[in-house]
Structure 1
């Protein structure tokens, strides 16, 4: 079970929306290298609004992620891509439903996504 999470809100500068989307998609490869990142989602919530949600089994996993390559890359590109610094909010996971353990969603059989 995951216990700790992060919600990160990102607002793309005008004209940078496609770059933000590409950046978030490319970050998946870096997240795959983080064994303590149990769940990671890059989301588009509006035309220029994006978010990242990730969850971890414990606080040490969350701290490792915040000190990792994705966070470093995000902060290095923040002034170029975003209207403001990423808004990072820590959260406690009260309950979860995860359909898989240690497998990427693209490795799951189609029935794993059935309603």
Structure 2
């Protein structure tokens, strides 16, 4: 692995591909999926739109309800990124952002099994 990582830093490096395995080039996904009830979003916007991968998990919370009505949403930690209130004052929605979890193994290969169905194999080049 040490030799591979060193070779990756050289100009013109091309990932070795095993055509017999029909695996292709490796993929990379920095972030894991957001928890249920949240959606992926961005922490900042650049000059030409969004940059990079979505790095936040966004949850919409109705802050007009009492904490007991909000259940697990009560005491949710994160950064409030927006609030909207209905025309009649009957909606109090906050969008709360928390950092998206990072994958321990961010690289992967999709390799077909005996039935030809691709399976994803995750790995890490850091250890």
Question: Which structure shows the bigger proportion of residues in helix conformation?
Answer: 1
Larger Rg over CA atoms: 2
Richer in strand (by share):
2
More relative contact order, 1 or 2 (CA 8 Å, 6+ apart):
1
Q: Do the two structures share a fold, i.e. TM-score over 0.5?
A: no
TM-score for both structures, normalised by structure 2: 0.25
